[in-house]
Amino acid sequence: ESTTVVVIGAGPAGLTVANLLRRCGVDCVVLERGSRAHVARRQRAGIVETRAVRMFESWGLADVVRGGPPHDGLLEFRIDGESRFVDDRDGSAGSGARLCPQQVLVENLTAAHLADGGDLRYEAADVSLHDLTGDRPTVRYRAADGTRHSISCDFVAGCDGEHGVTRTAVPEGVATVHTFDHGIGWLTVLADAPPPAHPLLAVSPEGFAAHFPRGPRSSRYYLQCPPDDDPGAWPDDRVWDALRTRLADPALVPGPITDRETFRLRGLVHEPMRHGQLFLVGDAAHILSPMGGKGMNLALHDADLFVRAVRDAVRGGDDTALRDYSRRCLRRVWSDQEFSHWLTRTVHEAGGDTDSGPFLRRLARARLDRLVTSPGARHAFAELMTGLDPARAE
Ligand code: FAD
């Protein structure tokens, strides 16, 4: 069997690559380890940034981000119970960010790809990559019925996330993995409870908390906790009590909790994002602290650059953009890592529950004060939130 691109993974990165390749008439096969139901259940990101909304529009795929109302642009910072609002729009003409939970985007992209005649294979086990530095790499896997398959291709798109196989196919010594651990844990909870009017970030002496909309009757909450804390240490009452205190909202309406997990806040970048004919896209190449909401949006950006580069190579015989893929992606990756790092440090150090001490706490509070009072600081923040920073425009 043979195709032009084998895409490993059917999350936001892989499905975006697959849809855009179809739009350019380039063949691809998508191999996904999980079942369709498993993939559809992974609820994570909530907002598709302005740049990514316009990117889908430019490919004639505006409908894939329909699933929630437009994000009205206001973010609430609640600092010791006092509300301050920041507008994260940049005032440019055109569509803005959309509330579109990750699983809705994934389902919309899946439906669009299948309706377009796409080849999407679920429950593909034991995926392995061969001859990546030759002209025709091969991808092998075992199908759900136990049969073994081998597909030769021109390019492999490694879209299999943080725990995938494609990153590990790059030999040691060829790439560098840069990592940073904030030493901070988060408990995250999904609940069928009323969403806030605006995404809400709360700084308090008890630690950071956040409340984000995920649908008309669903919310995601975050609570700072010790790194590697056990989610079992957070029964429902403790979660709602902590949220009421940290959000300074005694009337917060609870609801059934549908998911509860803890994780460490950290950053990771795999450099370069290419090895031979393998191109890493999305979480396979980089992980960010969720602060700033950039992980999924970066995956969509990588996907767009990768497909345009493949189109140039396949249609026009021009591989300039393929050779430049890693450098161009990494420029945005590091900029978003910096934004995510800045916001993570700021909202945690400004609270009381860190070991950063009174000096750093006052610096963080000064940064927040500047953000909510200075038009220049707000503008810079809006550029980063929208993803439309002109210095990184393609
Ligand atoms: P994934 O979504 O991880 O998809 C990878 C796919 O590959 C999966 O379907 C997996 O089953 C498949 N796969 C894995 N291994 C194999 C294999 N060996 N063979 C075949 N298939 C394989 N981002 C934001 O932008 N905004 C947010 O608000 C936000 N909030 C987040 C909150 C949490 C709690 C977490 C954990 C993440 C959050 N993110 C957010 C990050 C976002 O979820 C990721 O950046 C996004 O999922 C990356 O998409 P991806 O397609 O690269 O990887």
Contact 300, 19 (CB under 8 A): no
Type of residue found at 25:
G
**Could you give the 3-state DSSP secondary structure of residue 185?**
strand
pLDDT at 44: 84
Q: Among 101, 99, 108, 139, which residue's Cα sits nearest to residue 15? A: 108
Give the list of residues 6+ apart from residue 69 with CB closer than 8 angstroms, or none. Answer: 98, 99
Compute the distance between CA of residue 236 and CA of residue 257 in angstroms, rounded to an integer: 8
Whether 157 maps to a domain, the answer reads: yes
CA dist 3 to 6, 111, 316, Å? 7, 21, 18
pLDDT at 45: 82
pLDDT above 70 (res 393): no
Mean pLDDT over 349-363 rounds to 85
Mean pLDDT over 216-243 rounds to 94
Whether 33 maps to a domain, the answer reads: yes
Whether 24 maps to a domain, the answer reads: yes
For ligand 1, the distance from its centroid to the CA atom of residue 22, given in whole angstroms, is 22
Q: What CATH number does residue 36 fall under? A: 3.50.50.60
Give the list of residues 6+ apart from residue 316 with CB closer than 8 angstroms, or none. Answer: none
- Confidence at 353, pLDDT banded by 50, 70, 90: low
Q: Among 155, 96, 64, 52, which residue's Cα sits nearest to residue 394? A: 52
Question: Quick one: CA dihedral 113, 118, 121, 126, positive or negative?
Answer: negative
Could you write out the three-class secondary structure of 349-363?
A: HCCCCCCCHHHHHHH
**Could you give the 3-state DSSP secondary structure of residue 342?**
helix
pLDDT digits (tens, 9 = 90+) for 29-52: 999 999 998 888 788 888 999 999
Quote the domain boundaries for residue 278.
5-72+96-177+266-341
Whether 288 maps to a domain, the answer reads: yes
pLDDT above 80 (res 68): no
Whether 60 maps to a domain, the answer reads: yes
**76 burial type by CB count under 10 A (0-12 exposed, 13-18 middle, 19+ buried):** middle
What ranges in 116-250 are assigned the alpha helix state H?
236-246
pLDDT at 394: 53
Q: Among 105, 43, 44, 50, which residue's Cα sits nearest to residue 72? A: 50
Q: Which carries the bigger pLDDT value, residue 208 or residue 90?
A: 208
pLDDT digits (tens, 9 = 90+) for 127-169: 999 999 999 999 999 999 999 999 999 999 999 999 999 999 9
Whether 381 maps to a domain, the answer reads: no
Q: Are strands 218-225 and 47-48 parallel, antiparallel or unpaired?
A: unpaired
Q: To test ligand 1's pocket by mutation, which of 6, 19, 33, 333 has the most ligand atoms within 8 angstroms of CB?
A: 33
Task: Ligand 1: list residues with CB < 6 Å.
Answer: 8-14, 31-34, 39, 44-46, 102, 124, 127, 159-161, 164-165, 188, 282-283, 290, 293-297, 299
CB atoms within 10 A of CB 293: 22
Q: Look up residue 390 and give its two tokens.
A: 């002109």
pLDDT above 70 (res 354): no
Whether 253 maps to a domain, the answer reads: no
Ligand 1 atom having least distance to the Cα of 166:
18
Contact 303, 285 (CB under 8 A): no
pLDDT digits (tens, 9 = 90+) for 310-342: 999 999 899 999 999 999 999 999 999 999 999
Compute the distance between CA of residue 47 and CA of residue 213 in angstroms, rounded to an integer: 9
Whether 255 maps to a domain, the answer reads: no
Q: To test ligand 1's pocket by mutation, which of 163, 283, 333 has the most ligand atoms within 8 angstroms of CB?
A: 283
- CB half-sphere exposure, 153, CA atoms < 13 A: 27
What proportion of the chain, given as a percentage, has pLDDT over 90? 83
pLDDT above 60 (res 1): yes
Compute the distance between CA of residue 386 and CA of residue 394 in angstroms, rounded to an integer: 14
Compute the distance between CA of residue 313 and CA of residue 320 in angstroms, rounded to an integer: 8
Q: Are strands 5-8 and 28-31 parallel, antiparallel or unpaired?
A: parallel
Q: Look up residue 253 and give its two tokens.
A: 């309406």
Q: Is the ipTM of this complex over 0.85?
A: yes
Question: Among all chains, which residue has been given the structure tokens 């908390």?
Answer: 209
- How many structural domains are present in the chain? 1
Q: Among 110, 105, 114, which residue's Cα sits nearest to residue 36? A: 110
Question: What is the pTM for the complete model shown?
Answer: 0.95
